[in-house]
Structure 1
Amino acid sequence: MFISQACFEGDKTNEHKIIAKLQKTMNETFNTPGLVSVDCWLKENKDRVEYVFVTKWESKDHFKTWVTREDHVEEHKEMNKQKQQGQQGEVKIKKTLRQYQVVDVTSL
């Protein structure tokens, strides 16, 4: 099993933008071959929020197929283009990616 975490952290004033991104990603994830489960976790304090989008896959190859689909790649290309041209605005959302492979610790 392969697990991917995408963590989005920002000010509560930008929470609606994080939620919109998560909803879009959630809708694009359903019924994907090799997907085992999807969770979204929330951690918040007085003025910051952190949402963690966690997907579990049958294999790393299933995840790679999903993340390299054409519409996803094009979306990131467009975001990078806007960022380079200074068109993306000043919204500060920190994104952290983590990926894990399930390990049977009794066999290590």
Structure 2
Amino acid sequence: MLALAAGNALAKGDARKGKSLAYTCTGCHGIAEYKNAYPSYHVPKIAGQNEAYLVSALTAYAKGERSHPTMKAQAMSFNAQEIADIAAYISAQTPAKK
């Protein structure tokens, strides 16, 4: 886990690589008005979100500092460079219009 934390400070994201890694994100975060079944809550859209925030959030899920089982499992499957790549790609996307 220490390597993950240290790696995020140094990792520069590659949006091209992040595109192929972020495909599972759209399964929840890319569906209009999507709500989690249990507990029931609105799943936020993340396209265009701040890159540093995305790195921070994914790293916190991976470390267990944020509690959501699905997000933790997803985040734990990536290393620091992959998290940076995903954040670079997602932050470069245009948010969907309502």
Return the TM-score normalized by structure 1. 0.30
TM-score (norm 2): 0.32
Larger Rg: 1
